[in-house]
Amino acid sequence: MKLRVRIGRRTIRVELPGGEPSLKELIDHIKDTVLSSHGLSAETEFSLSLNGSELLADSGQTLSSCGIVSGDLICVILPESAAATAAASAAAEAQRTEQNPQDAAGTSNQPSDPAAVTAAELEEAAEASDSEPSASSWEPMLCSEAEEGQAPLSLELLYHSAQTASPSDAVMVAGNLLMLETGFVPQGCEMKAGEMPAGWRSAAGVYKLQYTHPLCDNSLAMVVAVCMGPVLVINATLKVNQTVDAVRKLCLNPSSYVTDEWPGESAAAAFKDLSKLSRIFKDQLAYPLIAAAREAMALPVAFGLAALPPELLLRVLRLLDVSSVLTLSSVCRYFNTSTADSSLWRHLYRRDFTDSDPSRPRDTDWKELYKRSQKLRCMRRRARPILHPPLHPNPLDFFFPVPIPAPPYPPLPGIIGGEYDQRPALPHGLLPRPRYDPIGPPRPHDFRRVRPTGGRPADVRRGFI
């Protein structure tokens, strides 16, 4: 079992032999190797804490019974005098590293962690825990549920055990975890928790992973990836009954999902947009592999709309519009049969139309009735009169009216010898309308020469008498 042990602000890795090491073996290992590297003697008294949240008491139990798994952080709590000695040793080590950086390059010093726990900090945490209940450091989480600055514990373990050296390595480590979340099992090697399959990465920069799935027993899924410049090209192939078919191809940019701090210790600081990576990888690679394998083996589908029972599928179809139902009916034979259900079309008809006859017989063809009603509705819409816009659709005509052109002939005076003849220079609009002036625009026959009664010609000089 591989663990991380922190004393002061320094963290080192330890590995305990055996399948089920006990807490006493961990304490003895810390006394023999860890304390001496921090300038402390083996007789120094100390206590252990899991992730800085709870103290561990030795009662002969195993580490797994204490809830400790590979990759956990074990904090060593020292007395004040011993803590000061460890801090002085760490300061001297840091000073020696600054003076001789080349000598320190070959050592395996871990980067400082700002979350280091000392005895005084543990006392403050204990006082704070009286007012607030302390949450667990690691909670069950999927990659799709991870927010910024978070990562599942399984990804942390894989990230540390894989010893990633590039962003592409980190993406493939996350891809392996996403395949495991979907239900795939690594093939050809013993599955070990927190470790990548053997031979997953080659020296030439080619990644190769092989899986089987419980839903497709006789199939073999192979994921092969290679870096082509800044893009990581992932090809998924499926082998069923000695036939190999290429199923999917996915191109990812590792810099979109791995930060510039990828060589660091924490996977939460190395990854970003884990939820987006999970959605893209599963939707475009993992789920299509399962669907293709079951289709090649003539097995029913295991997820999606086609996996729902008929009554649940009908409930989903009732929420759709008619165009979506018709589109879904052309997908496959199963959906064509499901969308032809009479109860579905009865619901759609009564939802979209007013049923004039509620007591229809049971053998009514509701789909045909819906079709006829829709045709009648379209015919009524076509026969409906179209309301034309007003004569002046331009709204600017209200503010800038178009002037009405003047008639081609002068207006006919109401009375000969009236104001028209006495003041011919004045505009027509300023004078009052004569008593016998016709209302409205002049008509064409008003401009004809009309002789007065008696047959005598009109004397224009009478207006000046």
Interval 83-134: pLDDT, tens: 666 666 666 665 565 555 444 444 444 444 434 444 444 444 444 444 344 3
Mean pLDDT, residues 44-66: 71
Which range of 285-294, 401-410, 449-458 scores highest in mean pLDDT? It is 285-294
pLDDT exceeds cutoff 80 at 411: no
Which range of 5-19, 85-99, 239-253 scores highest in mean pLDDT? It is 239-253
Percent of the chain with pLDDT over 90: 19
Element holding 146 (H helix, E strand): none
Structure confidence by residue, pLDDT tens digits, 423-464: 666 565 555 555 555 555 555 555 455 455 455 555 555 444
* Residue 13: pLDDT band with limits 50, 70, 90: confident
**Better-scored residue on pLDDT, 96 or 144:** 144
Mean pLDDT, residues 344-355: 90
Of the candidate ranges 42-46, 152-156, 224-228, the one whose mean pLDDT is the lowest: 42-46
Q: From start to end of 8-139, where are the E strands?
A: 10-15, 47-50, 54-56, 73-77
**Better-scored residue on pLDDT, 338 or 462:** 338
Mean pLDDT, residues 196-224: 87
Mean pLDDT, residues 153-175: 88
Residue 233's pLDDT is: 94
Identify whether the C-beta of residue 271 lies closer than 8 Å to the C-beta of residue 259.
yes
SS3 321: coil
pLDDT exceeds cutoff 60 at 284: yes
**Distance between CA atoms of 89 and 10, rounded to whole angstroms?**
10
Which range of 67-71, 166-170, 264-268, 414-418 scores highest in mean pLDDT? It is 166-170
* Residue 389: pLDDT band with limits 50, 70, 90: low
Q: Which residues, listed in sequence order, are joined to residue 239 by a DSSP beta bridge?
A: 220, 244
Residue 79's pLDDT is: 72
Residue 47's pLDDT is: 76
Q: From start to end of 171-242, where are the E strands?
A: 185-186, 206-213, 216-228, 231-240
* Residue 303: pLDDT band with limits 50, 70, 90: confident
Residue 81's pLDDT is: 67
**Distance between CA atoms of 19 and 70, rounded to whole angstroms?**
11
Nearest in space to 372 (alpha carbons), one of 353, 351, 394, 390: 353
pLDDT exceeds cutoff 60 at 219: yes
Q: What angle do CA 204, 205, 209 make, to 5 degrees?
A: 110
In angstroms and rounded to an integer, the radius of gyration of the C-alpha atoms of the chain is 45
The 8-class DSSP code of residue 411 comes to: P
**Distance between CA atoms of 194 and 186, rounded to whole angstroms?**
13
* Residue 292: pLDDT band with limits 50, 70, 90: confident
Count the Cβ atoms, other than its own, within 10 Å of residue 186. Answer: 20
Count the Cβ atoms, other than its own, within 10 Å of residue 176. Answer: 22
> How is residue 283 written in tokens?
């939707």
> How is residue 231 written in tokens?
């893009």
Please, what is the average pLDDT of the chain?
Answer: 74
pLDDT exceeds cutoff 90 at 325: yes
**Domains in the chain, CATH or no CATH each:** 2-131 (3.10.20.90), 147-296 (3.40.1000.30), 305-383 (1.20.1280.50)
pLDDT exceeds cutoff 60 at 82: yes
Residue 290's pLDDT is: 87
* Residue 264: pLDDT band with limits 50, 70, 90: low
**Better-scored residue on pLDDT, 280 or 195:** 280
pLDDT exceeds cutoff 60 at 229: yes
**Better-scored residue on pLDDT, 409 or 232:** 232
Residue 75: how many CA atoms within 13 Å on its side-chain side? 20
> How is residue 230 written in tokens?
């800044």
How many angstroms from the chain centroid is the CA of residue 332? 28
pLDDT exceeds cutoff 60 at 254: yes
Q: From start to end of 17-116, where are the E strands?
A: 47-50, 54-56, 73-77
pLDDT exceeds cutoff 80 at 263: no
**Distance between CA atoms of 290 and 212, rounded to whole angstroms?**
10
SS3 204: coil
pLDDT exceeds cutoff 70 at 347: yes
Element holding 15 (H helix, E strand): strand 10-15
Q: Which residues, listed in sequence order, are joined to residue 258 by a DSSP beta bridge?
A: 271
**Better-scored residue on pLDDT, 385 or 235:** 235
Identify whether the C-beta of residue 161 lies closer than 8 Å to the C-beta of residue 265.
no
Global confidence as pTM: 0.47
Identify whether the C-beta of residue 7 lies closer than 8 Å to the C-beta of residue 17.
no
127-136 contacts: CB < 8 A, separation 24 or more? 134/53, 136/53
Residue 322's pLDDT is: 93
- Give residue 265's identity as a one-letter amino acid code: E
Mean pLDDT, residues 8-20: 76
> How is residue 367 written in tokens?
């789909």
Of the candidate ranges 231-235, 337-341, 372-376, 386-390, the one whose mean pLDDT is the lowest: 386-390
SS3 350: helix
Residue 15's pLDDT is: 81
